[in-house]
Amino acid sequence: MDIMRRMTLVGPIGGERHAQHTEGYPLDPSKMLPVADVLVLIADGDPGAMVYRYTAHGELAGDTWHESVAEALDMADEEYSGQLLGWIDIPSDVGDPHAFSIQYAADRLNQREGR
C-alpha cells in the first residue's frame, strides 16, 4: 500500500461548531478534548488508517484508528456531518504532516478572522 497523507479543515454548520465525544468520555467540560479545526488522515502501509484531530493552536483533539482509509473517511464524514471543507493531499516533500496541517489551519483561521 502506498503512503496516504491527507487533511481537511473543519468548518461551521449554521454558524456553530459541533463536537462528538466518545461514549463514556467525561462530560466535565474541563476534561473534554477541544473542538478540532483540522483532521489529518495517515495510512502508511501498516494495516488500517489513523485520523488525528487538532486545533489550529496545535492542541490534540483526539485520534482514532480505522481498518481502512474508506472507513476512516466515512467515519469523519459521519462525525462532522457536513462540516468538512474537502480533503487535500499533504505534499510528499513535507516532513511532518501534523505540523503542516496545524499551520495550514492556523493560516486559514487567521484569514477568516481578517487578521
- Name residues whose C-beta falls within 8 Å of residue 93's C-beta, 6 or more positions apart in sequence: none
Cα dihedral: 98, 64, 8, 86 (round 10): 160
The more confidently predicted of residues 10 and 22 is 10
Q: What does the pLDDT average to over 37-46?
A: 92
Residue 16 has pLDDT above 70, yes or no: no
Q: Judge whether residue 5 has pLDDT over 90.
A: yes
Q: For residue 58, what is the DSSP state?
A: S
pTM above 0.75, yes or no: yes
pLDDT in tens, 71-84: 999 999 999 988 99
Quick check: 14 and 53 in contact, CB under 8 A? no
CA 23 to chain centroid, in Å, comes to 19
Average pLDDT rounded to a whole number, residues 29-44: 86
**pLDDT above 70 coverage of the chain, percent:** 79
